[in-house]
């Protein structure tokens, strides 16, 4: 065999080896692509997060403060317990986000409260004549003219407290509804002796003067004959009196009845 034939044979062998290597590499590459395509076509199963079962539910039930009753001496209800706002309920467990919604506690869950927060606080303040906003005792009617006055409601409650003091023989309440001059001139014992048998009813404020704040009151009284006016000895009297309403240290008070503008007569 000549040198030329040997070279040609070697070249062909080398070319054949290269073709075999290229075919093997192509086969491996095609096999990997087929595997990737097969994996891509497989259905994907979504991951399910299992919620923790040991996390307690948040409690929304909170103890409420107990308000004490409103007395004559204190128009503002006292609230037992702290004045600070209740803190928001804290969630137990980790700070990781939860895949499920938080379940709130039922309002019927029992909530423990201390005895001091549920017991009403009794008022120890002295009796005052401040409007309470509660039902009037005794009732006091307002005429259409009187009701137009800007102070009509406050005057109505003041008059009711004044008559209540007489019906219940409460000297201190009476003193808190009149001017200091009247209470200073009319002591407790003298006042009790004068009103011990008196009961007033059918009270109406028929007029309130817009400029002077003088009020005209009509009412019916019953009393022992010896406690009635000397010129009208009767156990039943119908009254019409005029009293100025004045401001004493920022509080409304009833002044003494105006002489010559008040009248009374026996019941028919």
**Span 86-143, pLDDT tens digits:** 444 444 444 444 444 434 444 444 444 444 444 443 333 333 344 444 578 899 999 9
Please report which helix (H) or strand (E) contains residue 230, including its range.
none
Q: Distance between CA 132 and CA 143 in Å, rounded?
A: 21
Which of 248, 247, 242 is CA-nearest to residue 260?
A: 242
| Residue 111 within a domain | no
Asked whether residue 258 is domain-assigned, the answer is yes
Calpha distance 219→196 (Å, rounded): 18
H, E, C per residue of 113-152:
CCHHHHCCCCCCCCCCCCCCCCCCCCCEEECHHHHCCCCH
Q: Kindly state whether residue 82 falls inside one of the protein's structural domains.
A: no
Average pLDDT over residues 238-252: 96
Q: What's the structural domain count of the chain?
A: 1
Q: Is residue 77 part of a domain?
A: no
CA separation for the pair 168, 162 (Å, rounded):
10
Evaluate whether residue 64 is within a structural domain. Answer: no
CATH number of the domain within which 206 lies: 3.10.450.50
Q: What's the pLDDT score for residue 159?
A: 97
pLDDT score for 151: 95
Enclosing domain of residue 181: 140-266
Better-scored residue on pLDDT, 203 or 67: 203
pLDDT band at 235 (very low <50, low <70, confident <90, very high): very high
**Residue 200 belongs to some domain of the structure:** yes
Residue 41 within a domain: no
Could you give the CA distance from residue 48 to residue 194 in angstroms, rounded to a whole number? 89
210 domain-assigned: yes
């Amino acid at each position: 065999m000549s040198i030329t034939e040997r070279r040609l044979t070697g070249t062909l062998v080398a070319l054949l080896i290269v073709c075999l290597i290229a075919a093997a590499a192509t086969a491996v590459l095609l096999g990997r692509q087929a595997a990737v395509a097969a994996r891509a076509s497989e259905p994907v199963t979504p991951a399910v997060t299992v919620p923790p079962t040991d996390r307690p539910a948040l409690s929304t039930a909170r103890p409420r403060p107990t308000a004490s009753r409103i007395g004559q001496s204190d128009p503002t209800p006292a609230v037992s317990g702290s004045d600070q706002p209740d803190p928001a309920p804290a969630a137990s467990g980790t700070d990781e986000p939860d895949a499920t919604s938080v379940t709130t506690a039922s309002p019927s869950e029992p909530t423990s409260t201390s005895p001091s927060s549920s017991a009403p606080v009794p008022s120890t303040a002295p009796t005052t004549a401040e409007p309470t906003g509660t039902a009037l005792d005794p009732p006091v009617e307002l005429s259409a003219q009187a009701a137009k006055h800007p102070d009509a409601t406050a005057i109505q409650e003041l008059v009711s407290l004044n008559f209540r003091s007489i019906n219940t023989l409460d000297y201190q309440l009476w003193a808190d509804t009149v001017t200091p001059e009247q209470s200073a001139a009319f002591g407790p014992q003298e006042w009790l002796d004068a009103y011990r048998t008196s009961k007033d009813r059918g009270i109406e404020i028929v007029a309130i003067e817009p400029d002077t704040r003088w009020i005209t009151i009509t009412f019916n009284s019953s009393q022992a004959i010896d406690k009635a006016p000397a010129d009208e000895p009767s156990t039943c009297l119908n009254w019409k009196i005029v009293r100025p309403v004045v401001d004493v240290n920022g509080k409304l008070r009833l002044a003494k009845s105006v002489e010559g503008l008040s009248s009374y007569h026996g019941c028919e």
